[in-house]
Amino acid sequence: MNPNIEEFHPLNNHADVFDPHTYLQAHTPQWAQHAACKNQPHTMYPTTPTELAAALNLCAQCPVQKPCAEKGLTESHGIWGGINREPHPTQTIHKLLTQGGTWTTEQLAQQTGRTIAHTHTQLKKLAHTHPITTTTHPTTGEQTHTLN
Ligand code: SF4
């Protein structure tokens, strides 16, 4: 296989199994060698609001934000040029509920990579426009959600 930028995110998920510096020198365009995140690509796959803020902060200081953002236009995961290419958590929650069944808040939070508190907020927003039924377990207090 001919390595090319498709395998690279300044940012590559597999950064833990190869030497990013060597890889960057061999297979990436000039701009990527100046990536602020090239030695910490995992930061561009945040799973919490705090990690997301840290990633966006790093991008804000990056000298190659523009070409990175252009590359990100074809990506569906990760942060590229200060833009989160992940689907918005509200979209993900809606998609999951649309699939049917009953989901706990914790399950939805796991699926979106957000906190339970954040997921509650997303569910409240969705409930303004979608018929979501939320049930609270009488003893455990656990909440489950279904789309009617
Ligand atoms: S803009 Fe952000 S994601 Fe892109 S190379 Fe710079 S730090 Fe990495």
Ligand 1 atom closest to the Cα of residue 78 is 3
CB 51, CB 37: distance < 8 Å: no
Nearest alpha carbon to residue 63 among 43, 84, 42, 38? 38
Could you say which of 43, 69, 84 is where a domain stops?
Answer: 84
Same domain for 115 and 71:
no
Report the 10 Å Cβ neighbour count for 134: 13
pLDDT reported for residue 112: 81
Top-ranked range on mean pLDDT: pick from 16-20, 65-69, 139-143: 139-143
Same domain for 60 and 114:
no
Model confidence pLDDT, tens digit, residues 31-85: 888 999 988 877 887 767 788 889 999 999 999 999 998 888 887 778 889 988 8
pLDDT reported for residue 49: 72
| Cα 92 from chain centroid (whole Å) | 11
Question: 86: left (phi > 0), else alpha (psi -120 to 50), else beta?
Answer: beta
Using DSSP's 3-state secondary structure scheme, residue 99 falls into coil
- The DSSP call for residue 84 is E
**CATH number of the domain to which 138 belongs:** 1.10.10
Pocket of ligand 1 (CB under 6 A): 10-11, 35-37, 44, 58-59, 62, 64-65, 68, 79-82
Residue 118 sits in which domain range?
89-147
